[in-house]
């Protein structure tokens, strides 16, 4: 059953300006693996922006936020063997997802030069409700 859905959108230039003016922002938001992936691109900022959106969309879908103990670096956007984006969780994010019985996280990313977006759907373990 679906636990939640979330979506986020951002102007790439807004994220670029933030990252260029705040030297600690990158390490506060992105994991080493995400930084390595994005930096391998000719223009890394649309890739950073899409990952930022995925993290925000995940928090919206989960109904939780950074004020509830989840750090953005605990939500990692990666790719599976087929190249599809996946979200991997660590530390508090993983614990909260387990407590909420999250069974599957679906994520879709999209970006252009100017805009990035992501959609996340979270499924929960459980049986289907029957009408009596």
Catalytic residue ranges = 60, 111
The CA distance from 80 to 93, in Å, is 20
Tokens matching residue 40:
């391998």
| Burial (Cβ within 10 Å: 0-12, 13-18, ≥19) of residue 18 | middle
Let me know the angle formed at the C-alpha of 84 by 94 and 7, rounded to the nearest 5 degrees.
65
């Amino acid at each position: 059953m679906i636990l939640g859905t979330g979506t986020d959108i951002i102007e790439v230039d807004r994220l670029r300006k933030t990252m260029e003016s705040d030297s600690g922002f990158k390490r506060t938001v992105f994991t080493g693996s995400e930084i390595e992936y994005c930096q391998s691109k000719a223009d890394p900022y649309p890739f950073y922006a899409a990952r930022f959106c995925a993290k925000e969309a995940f928090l919206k879908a989960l109904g939780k936020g950074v004020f509830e103990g989840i750090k953005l670096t605990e939500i990692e956007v990666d790719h599976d063997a087929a190249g599809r984006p996946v979200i991997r969780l660590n530390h508090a994010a993983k614990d909260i997802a387990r407590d909420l019985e999250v069974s599957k996280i679906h994520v879709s990313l999209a970006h252009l030069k100017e805009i990035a977006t992501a959609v996340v759907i979270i499924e929960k373990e459980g049986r289907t409700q029957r009408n009596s």
